[in-house]
């Protein structure tokens, strides 16, 4: 059985600590991943991904493991710490940023807000930052967009829920500017923008922000919900996400029809009251 790591600075990495504890508990029982799966349920590959740190799993599967190992809620506590740890999120996001800069094509689905690469500075400023920090964030976002606008830039496909187009700014003029910016960006040869209208109904990515990065012969995905972000690199998991994305794309309006959809919303968007 592997020795349990001492309580050191390394143990302050909640995600690594959670994965380590799963491995130690299973080795302590002397069972295989398949053996755990046969008793607890779920697929053995899911437990393997959790032990390798590729995914955290959900609370239901962690509670089942708590019961199986008799750990009295310890695993669920470790899981909650791993999910909430901002350091882990930042580390994964930094890795994502490197991969984004190297990507030759990017596919995105946004359920609720305009994707960062398509935002105007006015929209970005709604995040609560002010002063120097806001200036840094705007500059960073504009810097990320530069490769997209350069000649021979990466291909970028953004699929937007209709909800995105209703998430307006306080300033009607600034929101109209954002809608006009979407139309203009969609006319660039390397950028495609599609809208999934509400009438299309529910689908597998309804509440999940997803970005696929294609580069160097591989595809990775960044998945973000309301409370955490996850860099998905394991090929089977990426393939499953891409299948969901493809189904959402099948439900979306064509780029041309989507442009007309946004233009209609622009015509209907309220103007600033005259003084």
Q: Are residues 100 and 123 in the same domain?
A: yes
User: Under a CB-based contact definition with an 8 Å cutoff, are residues 22 and 33 in contact?
Assistant: no
pLDDT digits (tens, 9 = 90+) for 91-149: 667 778 888 888 999 999 999 989 989 988 777 666 555 565 666 666 666 677 888 88
| pLDDT beyond 90 at 260 | yes
Half-sphere exposure at residue 43, Cβ-oriented, CA atoms within 13 angstroms: 6
Q: Are residues 190 and 264 in the same domain?
A: yes
- Structural domain contains residue 2: no
The stretch 25-35 carries a mean pLDDT of 93
User: Under a CB-based contact definition with an 8 Å cutoff, are residues 186 and 193 in contact?
Assistant: yes
CATH code of the domain in which 93 resides: 3.30.870
- Which of these ranges, 82-91, 103-112, 225-234, 250-259, has the smallest mean pLDDT? 82-91
Give the percent of the chain with pLDDT over 70.
81
The Cα–Cα gap between 233 and 213 comes to 10
- Structural domain contains residue 128: yes
The Cα–Cα gap between 71 and 65 comes to 8
The Cα–Cα gap between 161 and 248 comes to 10
Final residue in a domain of this structure, among 84, 104, 125:
84
User: Under a CB-based contact definition with an 8 Å cutoff, are residues 65 and 22 in contact?
Assistant: yes
Question: What domain range includes position 52?
Answer: 9-84
Q: Are residues 136 and 201 in the same domain?
A: yes
Q: Are residues 128 and 224 in the same domain?
A: yes
- Structural domain contains residue 40: yes
- Structural domain contains residue 274: no
Number of domains in the chain: 2
| pLDDT beyond 90 at 154 | yes
CATH code of the domain in which 63 resides: 1.10.260
Of the two residues 56 and 273, the one the predictor is more confident about is 56
Tokens (6 digits) for 203: 């689908």
- Structural domain contains residue 80: yes
User: Under a CB-based contact definition with an 8 Å cutoff, are residues 97 and 116 in contact?
Assistant: no
Bridge partners, 210 (sequence order): 109, 223
| pLDDT beyond 50 at 9 | no
């Amino acid at each position: 059985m592997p020795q349990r790591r001492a309580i050191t600075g390394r143990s302050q990495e909640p995600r690594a600590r959670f994965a380590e504890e799963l491995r130690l508990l299973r080795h302590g029982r002397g069972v295989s991943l398949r053996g755990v799966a046969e008793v607890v349920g779920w697929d053995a590959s899911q437990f393997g991904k959790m032990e390798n740190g590729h995914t955290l799993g959900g609370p239901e599967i962690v509670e089942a493991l708590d019961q199986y190992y008799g750990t009295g809620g310890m695993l669920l506590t470790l899981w909650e710490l791993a999910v909430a740890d901002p350091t882990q999120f930042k580390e994964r996001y930094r890795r994502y940023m490197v991969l984004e800069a190297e990507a030759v094509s990017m596919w995105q689905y946004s359920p609720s807000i305009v994707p960062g690469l398509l935002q105007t500075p006015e929209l970005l400023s709604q995040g609560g930052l002010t002063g120097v920090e806001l200036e840094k964030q705007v500059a960073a976002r504009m810097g990320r967009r530069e490769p997209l606008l350069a000649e021979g830039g990466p291909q970028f496909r953004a699929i937007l829920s209709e909800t995105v187009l209703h998430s307006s700014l306080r300033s009607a003029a600034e929101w109209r500017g954002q809608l006009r910016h979407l139309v203009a960006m969609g006319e660039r040869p390397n950028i495609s923008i599609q809208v999934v209208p509400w009438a299309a109904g529910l689908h597998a990515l309804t509440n999940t922000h997803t970005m696929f990065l294609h580069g160097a012969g591989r595809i990775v995905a960044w998945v973000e919900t309301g409370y955490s972000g996850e860099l998905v690199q394991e090929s089977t998991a990426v393939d499953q996400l891409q299948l969901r994305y493809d189904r959402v794309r099948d439900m979306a309006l064509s780029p041309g029809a989507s442009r007309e959809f946004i233009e209609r919303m622009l015509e209907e968007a309220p103007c600033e009251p005259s003084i």
